[in-house]
Amino acid sequence: MLDSFYISSIGMRAHSTEIDTISNNVANLNTTGFKRGVVSFSSLSATDSAGAAANAARAAAVLASVRGGGVTAQLGYSMVAGALTQTNAPLDVAINGNGFIEVTRADGSPAYTRAGSLMVNAQGMLATRSGEVLAAKIAVPPDAQSVSIAPDGHVYAVTASSATQLDLGQIDLVSFANPSGMQAAGGTLYVPGTESGDAHSGAPSTDGLGSLQSGYLESSNVDMTTELTTLMLAQRGFELNSRVVQAADQMLQTVNSLYR
């Protein structure tokens, strides 16, 4: 009977994680390149060492005494492409297909994004709006009059001193065998996870990486109807687990009254 308290509390915690994830999804409904979080559930069995570690000594005892110890929630991400929105800005670029743009964070580590709203930073480097420099290290001349990005990733500029286009470099795309296994790294950045596989880079429009579409941005792939439906199911799951706790408490009260 006591085990039901701990098993139900694990279920409530899992559904609470799902509700938190839904809240974050809804908050980023209009965030460019955002990928909705998806919580998956699996049975917490007596052989689940990760579950035992997460729930400390009492949960370990529960898992040893019952065949199932509740549920565990794993957070993943839906990498389904969002709708493309036309902006006509020359440094806005959307990925028409699979792949990510690789950027370098402030600490020098790589990260990946599909939010292609680019700018020229104070050092003259092509970077994201949040400040991460593209891994391609593309420098834009200070006298550039126009900059354009071709579908194959090549970046061109026309300067005041040259009427012809200058090829500044190429933006490569990066793919993963299982992009849903990537981990969020803040904003719209992602890093490889244990289940994502290794990064594979290449030129756009090759190896199924997709092409770049200048003047467009990829919208968030969050669907409000899906989120509201999922929220109702998560709330109901939390409610049912709380009722189990209440039922177990009433049973304990009945047992205690037998000794009076």
pLDDT of 24-55, one tens digit each?
Answer: 999 999 999 999 999 988 877 654 544 445 55
**How far apart, in whole angstroms, are the C-alpha atoms of residue 25 and residue 39?**
12
Same domain, 51 and 165: no
* The pLDDT value given to residue 43: 79
**pLDDT classification of 171: cutoffs 50, 70, 90:** very high
Average pLDDT of the chain to the nearest whole number: 87
- 180-211 tens-digit pLDDT: 889 999 889 999 988 888 899 999 988 878 89
Same domain, 92 and 112: yes
Instruction: For the chain, give the percent of residues with pLDDT over 70.
Output: 89
Residue 166's domain comprises 84-218
The pTM of the full predicted model, rounded to 2 decimals, is 0.79
Same domain, 21 and 67: yes
* The pLDDT value given to residue 42: 82
- Whether pLDDT at 237 is above 70: yes
Same domain, 111 and 179: yes
- Whether pLDDT at 260 is above 50: yes
- Whether pLDDT at 139 is above 80: yes
Residue 35 Cα to chain centre, angstroms: 5
Instruction: For the chain, give the percent of residues with pLDDT over 90.
Output: 62
Look at the block and give the residue holding tokens 């026309």: 158
Same domain, 7 and 69: yes
Average pLDDT over residues 164-184: 92
- Whether pLDDT at 23 is above 60: yes
Same domain, 141 and 199: yes
Same domain, 90 and 160: yes
Count of beta carbons in the 10 Å neighbourhood of residue 43:
12
Average pLDDT over residues 234-259: 85
Among 55-64, 84-93, 99-108, the minimum mean pLDDT is found in 55-64
Same domain, 123 and 15: no
Same domain, 116 and 205: yes
**pLDDT classification of 74: cutoffs 50, 70, 90:** confident
Same domain, 8 and 74: yes
Same domain, 172 and 68: no
* The pLDDT value given to residue 195: 87
* The pLDDT value given to residue 52: 47
Average pLDDT over residues 213-236: 95
Strands 211-214 and 93-96: antiparallel
The contacts of residue 24 (CB under 8 Å, 6+ apart) are 37
Query: 3-class SS at 148?
Result: strand
Contacts 24+ apart (CB under 8 A), 236-243: 237/11, 237/15, 237/18, 238/11, 238/12, 238/15, 238/16, 238/19, 241/8, 241/9, 241/11, 241/12, 241/15, 242/8, 242/12
Same domain, 181 and 102: yes
Q: How many independent structural domains does the chain possess? A: 2
- Whether pLDDT at 12 is above 60: yes
* The pLDDT value given to residue 67: 55
